[in-house]
Structure 1
């Protein structure tokens, strides 16, 4: 009888230890998974339902548009080429099912802000990706030979976007923008 009782207590102790181990593993897994995630899926939507991406016709702006739509946000695409915007908007709507608005605007001109303000009115904007900017040419030597006004504008692409008296930043302030702003500056990507 002593051997049976001893085996019973060993088996009971083993089962209790396994149950505790399973609970510890489950708890550790939950904790670690939350730390491994950069942002929870609901974070982006908590900022607002819409993301505004300037320079969305190509490159980084286009990539941001797709990623933000994949993560559940509706997107407003702003660029100067209407055909590119329409193609990208169609593709985003088809692949992600999110709503897309397009605004054709050339940030080298100062008369675009009222048009943008009208188009953004009433939207709950949570993210602004400022991807506006251009260089006069890809060669640094040509940049140095450009007139001073062009050098100043091109070396600070945010000039088109932030320093205008009625800039998009001030429009977003008027529209109660309290979200995240991502500013991107890009230059030529060729090796030296």
Structure 2
């Protein structure tokens, strides 16, 4: 089943969770409201897990943007769902982590998360699960080209360069993963 945007129920649950996290991070809330939002966050994560257990595919793409739940999770800096989806896919499909939506991989999207407090962690998680930093998007840019300027960008570029060396080594020596 898909809605008018081409989203599956799993896409909708992920988008709702992303919105909740974004709102929670943006607003200075009294303690009770913050606790309520935390409870809603856990409920949405549980909903995502139940949808997957019931057979929802993490590999399905929406009709308009061709994004998977991985792309939506990364574009909003949602570390908890990112970890969940990466563990579900754990080394099963390099195509999943390196798939493109409008020409960008999840790693491109992560490198472009300027100012997001989870950016480095997200990039490291993607690299640890096989994201390829040498893939180019439709503008011929690699993820390293999407990093912000300045000191924060330097840290991101360092991570991506280190990831490139690691992915090349793993590709040459498959036993390196063991």
Higher strand proportion: 1
Higher helix proportion: 2
TM-score bracket, shorter-length normalisation: under 0.3
Larger Rg: 1
> If the length of structure 1 is used for normalisation, what is the TM-score?
0.23
> If the length of structure 2 is used for normalisation, what is the TM-score?
0.24
